[in-house]
Chain A
Amino acid sequence: MTALRQLFRFHGGVKPAYNKEPSTTQPIADFYALAPLPAEFVIPLHQSIGGVPHPLVAAGEQVKKGQLIGAPDGYVSSAVHAATSGTVKAVEMRLMPHTSGLSALCVVIAPDGKDEWIERQPVPWRAMAPDEVRDALRDAGVVGLGGAVFPTYLKVNPGKKGKLDTLVINGAECEPFITCDDMQMREQAEKVVRGAAILRDLTQAGQVLIGIEDNKPEAIAAMQAAVTQTGEAKIEIVPVPTRYPAGGAKQLIRVLTGIEVPHGKRSTDYGVQCFNTGTACATYEALELGQPLISRVVTVAGNVLRPRNFVVRFGTPMKDVVALCGPKPDSDRLIMGGPMMGFAMPADTVPVVKATNCILVGSKALFPPPPPEMPCIRCGECAKVCPSDLAPFEMYWFSRAKLFGKAQEYHLFDCIECGCCAYVCPSRIPLVDYYRFAKSEIWAREQEKSAADEARERYEFRMLREEREKQEKAAKLAAKAAETKAKLAAAATPEDAAKKALIAAAMERAQQATQNPPAPPADNAEAPPAPPAQQTPS
C-alpha cells in the first residue's frame, strides 16, 4: 500500500545527529518487571492542557489501579487515575516536572503491592453516540502523547463538514534520542493500527495517513504488516523524509497533504486532524480494553550506559527509571523531552507524567554550554531553517528590545519553539529563550488586562444583579397582588373565566419582565399594575 504518493515540503528544518540507535537495541521493558514498585506514586492532577482536575480521593482512602482519582474540570480537561492499588497518603503540593520549579496538587499513593485493577469493561463505542464516546475518552484520561498532552476527546471531531478528508497519525518522531513511538510501532503495531481505525471511524475520515520518518524502517515494516493483517481499510503507511521537525503536527500535515493550518485555526476546518501513534494506541486500550491511561512508553537516553524504552506508570519518580539505565557519574541534569525542545527538570525526583515521552540524561560533555553569545549579524541562517517561515532574527531583536507589539507583528505566536533557529545561529544566540520570554510577558500583560477587565465586569455584574433583585421583588409583589385579586374575583363572579385568563397572562408578563425589557402596559383595568420600568442591561 506504500503507493508513491505526492509529498510536500515544509520550509526549513535541520538535520541534527539523531542518536536514536542506542535506545532501540533492546525491546520495550515493563519497568515494574525489572524494579520494585516505588515507595510512593506522586500523581499530579494537572497532566493535560486545560482545567486542573479536582481530586476525588482524600488521604487514607483505598484506591485500586485505574481508579478515577481526578475528575475533569471544565470543557477542556482530562481525567487522572491511580497508578496502582494502595492507600492515598496525601493530596498535597509536590514539585512538578517543569522547569519553573513550581509545585502543584498531587495524589500521593502508597502501593499495597497487590497491584489490583479496577474492573475493566470494553466500551461499546460503536453503539454509542459520538458525545458519549468523547466522554469515555475524557474519563479514560486519554491525551496527546506526542508531548502536547491536549485532551484527545476534544480533537475526536469530524469538523464542520461532518467528516474529515484526512486523518494524520503522527509516527514521525523527529526529535533526536527519542524512540518511544518507534519502538511502540515495532512491537505493538496492531494496537496502533486498530487505534487509528477507531479514530478513523470516530472522525469519519476519508483516509488515514500514518506518517513515519524514513529513518525507522523497522517501524514502517511492522506497521505495514499490521495494516495488511488487520485488513483495516483506508489506512496507508507513508514514509516521510527525515528532517526535524517533520513530527510537528503542522509540518506533518503539510508534508502529507500539502495543507498548511495557520496558527490559531482548527485543523478540522481544513478537513484534517492529527494524532500521535501513542495516542492511537491509548485510544484503543481505553475503548477496546476499557483501560484508562495510567502509563506510557518512555525513552531513557543520553548520558546512560543502557539506554532503553520502558512502560512507566504516571507518578513514578524519574530517578527510579533512570537508575535502571546506569546513569554515568558526570550526569548533571534530567531533560524531559528531546534535546531540541525538552525542558530541564528542577530535580530528579519529579514524577513521570503523561507528557514524558523521554527522559534525557544530560552532562556537560553531552550538552556543553554554548560558547559566548555574539551579536546577531543578520546572516539569515535562522530564517532559512524556520519551519514556520518566520524571520527569527527580527523577532529576536524586538523581543530583546521588549517591543512586544512589534514582535507579534512578526508573528511571534506562530513560532512553534522548535529550536531550529537557535540550532544554526552562528552567533549562538539562545533565540528560543527570547521568544519564550516575549510570549510569557505578553500573556502576563494580557492576564493583567483581563484581570482588570474582570474586576470591572464583576462590578457591573453586581450592579446589574442588585437591580434585578429589586425588580424581581417588585414583580413578585405584583404577582401576589394579582393573585389575591384574582381569587377575590373568582369568588365574586365565578362565571368570569375570561377575566381569569387575562390575569394569568398579566402574571406571566410580570414574571417575564424580570428577565426581559419593559412589558407593554396592561390594557385592562382589572389587570395588576405592570412592574416598574427597568433598564435594559447594556
Chain B
Amino acid sequence: MSNAFNSPYFRQPASVRSVMLRVLVALLPGLAAYVWFFGAAILVQIALASLAALAGEAAILALRDKPVWLFVSDGSALVTAWLVALSFPSIAPWWMVVVATLIAIVVVKHLYGGLGQNPFNPAMAAFCIMIVAYPQLMSQWPAAGHQADFAAQWQLIFGGGPRVLDAVTMATALDTMRTALHTAGGTATVGAVFGSQPTFGAFGGKGWEWVALGYLLGGAWLIQQRIITWHIPVAFIAALGVTAGLFHFISPDRYAGALFHILSGGAMLGAFFIATDPVSGATTPKGKLIYAAGIAILAWIIRTFGAYPDGIAFATLLMNICAPLIDLHTQPPVFGHKNGGQP
C-alpha cells in the first residue's frame, strides 16, 4: 500500500505564499496614500526592487542548488523588496534600491541560510548599510503635494549626473525636527519648529501621517487574518507613545509628542510590517511584547539623541540580536505546569 506520509492526513490549505501575498495586500493602503501624496515614483522603486529581488533570489537559489521556482514563488522575496522600496526615499537613484534589495536577498537572507534562517531583518539590514554609506541620498525625500511632477521624479531616479534638488524634494519631518532642535543651540522649541515648516502636517509629516494610517489599516487587517498577532504592533506603539509622551510631558519644548513620533518616519511600517517579521523576531507572546517595546524605545532614543533622523532600522537590528535570548526566557508554561495544575 502506498503511503508516503503520516498523520495528520489532511491539512489546512495554508502556504507560505498565501501568507506573503496577504502581507503584500496589507501594504496596499499605505502604498495608495504614498502615491496620492508623493506621486508615482514609489511604484517605480517597487518595480525595481521586485525585479532585483526575484532575479537575485533565482540566481542565488540556482547557485545554492535549491529548487528555484519553489522558493522564488513563495513571495517572501517580494515582501522584502517592497519593504526595502517603502523604507527608501522614492526619489533615490535607481541603483540604490536595486543594490539594497540585492544585499537584503543575497547577503542577509541567503548567505545566512535562506528562507526562515536569517537572524536579521533583510530590509532593515540593507537600509542600515545604505544609510551609513550614502547618508545624503538617503535623506532626500519627495515633498508632499508634488505628485504631478512625475517627470522630475523620474529624472531624479534615472537621470544620473548631478541631482537638481528643488521643490520636489524635502527633508522629512523627523529630520527637520531633529536638525532644528540640535542646531539651534537649544533655542528652538518643538512647537515653534512644528509650525514653521511646510513639511509638517497635522500631527506628523505632511502626507506621511496618512501613509502611516494606511499602514495601520493594512496591519489591522493582517491581525484579523491571523497572520500577525496584536502583541508586536500594540507593544510597539504603546512603548513609543509612552516614552515620547513622558518626555514631552516633562519638557514639551525639547521633546516632540507621542503622536508625532507614532505618525512620523517608519514607525507604523515598523510596528506592523517590520517588527512583525517572525523569522528575525521574538515568537513567544511575552517575548513579542518585550521585543517590540525594545525596538520602539531604541528607535525613540536614536531619533532623539542620535545622528540619524530615523532609528527604526537600527533599533530592529539591535533587537534582532536579542530575539533568541528573549524567546529562551519567555517560553510560556506548558500544559499542566501553570498553577500546579489547578484551575
Contact = CB atoms under 8 A, between A and B. Distances in A.
B284 interface: yes
B1 A340 contact: no
B336 A414 contact: yes
A161 interface: no
Given A383-B283, A422-B8, A371 B335 contact: no
A108 B293 CA distance: 68
A262 B341 contact: yes
A414 B4 contact: no
Interface stretch (A320-328, A343-351, A475-483): A343-351
Interface string B107-141: 00000001111000000000000000000000000
A341 B115 contact: no
Contacts of B336: 250, 260-263, 265, 414
A135 interface: no
A396 to B, nearest CB: 11
Interface in B223-265: 226-227, 229
Contact of A424 (B2, B14, B16): B14
Interface stretch (B85-93, B213-221, B326-334): B326-334
Interface stretch (A217-225, A287-295, A384-392): A384-392
Contact of B341 (A10, A259, A335, A370): A259
Contacts of B116: 374-378, 427
Using C-beta atoms within 8 Å of the partner chain, give the interface range for chain A: 35 or more
A520 to B, nearest CB: 50
Nearest to B278: A378
B114 A16 contact: no
B149 interface: no
B9 A367 contact: yes
A426 interface: yes
B2 A333 contact: yes
Residue among B76, B278, B333, B338 with most chain A CB within 10 A: B278
Interface string B1-19: 1111111111110111011
Given A379-B278, A389-B332, A433 B6 contact: yes
Given A346-B1, A391-B331, A258 B7 contact: no
A259 B342 contact: yes
Contact of B279 (A8, A346, A378): A378
A185 B176 CA distance: 74
A379 B8 contact: no
B1 A345 contact: yes
A339 B5 CA distance: 12
Interface of B: 1-12, 14-16, 18-19, 67, 70-71, 74, 76, 114-117, 226-227, 229, 278-279, 283-284, 327, 331-338, 341-343
28 contacts: A11-B335, A258-B343, A259-B342, A260-B335, A260-B336, A333-B3, A337-B7, A339-B7, A339-B9, A341-B7, A343-B6, A346-B1, A348-B1, A372-B67, A375-B117, A377-B16, A378-B116, A387-B335, A390-B335, A391-B283, A410-B331, A419-B7, A422-B8, A423-B8, A424-B11, A425-B11, A425-B14, A436-B6
Interface of A: 8, 10-11, 14, 16-17, 99, 250, 254, 257-263, 265, 270, 332-335, 337, 339-348, 360, 362, 367, 369-372, 374-381, 383-384, 387-391, 393-394, 410-411, 414, 419, 422-428, 430, 432-433, 436
